[in-house]
Structures are given as C-alpha cells and as structure tokens.
Structure 1
Amino acid sequence: MSAALLPDVHWRKSGRSNPNGECVELADLPDGQVAMRNSRFPTGPALVYTRAEIAAFIQGAKDGDFDDLA
C-alpha cells in the first residue's frame, strides 16, 4: 500500500531516531492494523501489519533479537 493513500493517519517515530530524523514511522489504522513507512520517503510504500505482528516485533526488539543489526 502506498503511504500517500493514508492521508488521515498520524505518523509517529521513535524518539531514538537518528539526528537527521530518519527512521521508520508507525501509524494506527482505522481498522486496527498498524502501518509502517520509511520517514525518508513519506509518500512511498507503507507496510501494513496486524496488532499481533507488531506486538511480536516489538517484543523481539525488547528481547534483543535484533541487536546484531544495529
């Protein structure tokens, strides 16, 4: 889905984004899903996930599952 097709959602990014503000952004969708986009390309594609998928990703990040990628 194109992020440009989601004009009425509130995008937000982590306070830990890099100094240039480049990060991924997330938005709640009206149907309960969560959209994710690259903040460098705000009109580009957005990936859409279920709440369960986002919860699993966030828990994995908290658990350090992706620490080797940073």
Structure 2
Amino acid sequence: MAERFANGASADLLTDVSWRKSKRSGALGNCVEVATLPTGEIAVRNSRFPHGPALVYTRDEMAAFLAGAKDGEFDDVLR
C-alpha cells in the first residue's frame, strides 16, 4: 500500500517524485510546482521554498480546480 501524505507536510518527505512547473513560470522563482504521488494524488509546492510545506490534493480536487481556472472562475483574484 502506498504511503499517505498529510497536507502541509514538508516537501522533503516527498521522495521519488518529479516536481515540474509551467513553461510560463518566471525566472524570479515565482512558480508553483506539482508532482504526482505514488498514491495518485497531486502535491503542490512553492518553488521559492522547495523544502517547505506541500499541499496534497486528490485527482478529482485538482481536476475541479483546473476546470474552474480554465473557465475563468478565479480571474478576479488578479484584479
């Protein structure tokens, strides 16, 4: 059985995962990185703090967020 990770756990605990970020990320470290965990869940961390906390989402949670972002539901955040 795959190990479970708690939200806010140190990203250092997430070994054997490949972190990736968008090609649109800036050069100043203002990036969000994601990694697929062995459990199928998705971990998210701030690239400026790679050893800091990681948030863990189910595939359904991430799919709902991405669909909302694509639909413009969060565009008001940047206003």
TM-score (norm 1): 0.92
Paired residue for 1:68, among 49, 52, 76? 76
2:62 counterpart residue number: 54
| Structure 1 moving runs of 4+ over 2 Å | none
| Displacement after TM superposition at 1:15 (Å) | 1.3
TM-score (norm 2): 0.82
Unaligned 5+ runs, structure 2: 1-8
Name the Cα RMSD after superposition: 1.0
Work out the percentage of aligned pairs sharing the same amino acid. Answer: 67
2:36 counterpart residue number: 28
Unaligned 5+ runs, structure 1: none
1:7 counterpart residue number: 15
Count of aligned residue pairs for this structure pair = 70
The answer to which of 57-66 and 9-18 deviates more is 9-18
| Displacement after TM superposition at 1:17 (Å) | 1.4
User: Residue 55 of structure 1 aligns to a residue in which SS?
Assistant: helix
- Larger CA Rg, structure 1 vs 2: 2
Query: Quick one: distance in 2 between partners of 1:43 and 1:7?
Result: 11
Deviations 1:3-60, CA, capped at 9 Å, x for gaps: 0101211001111112324211100000100000000000000000000000000000
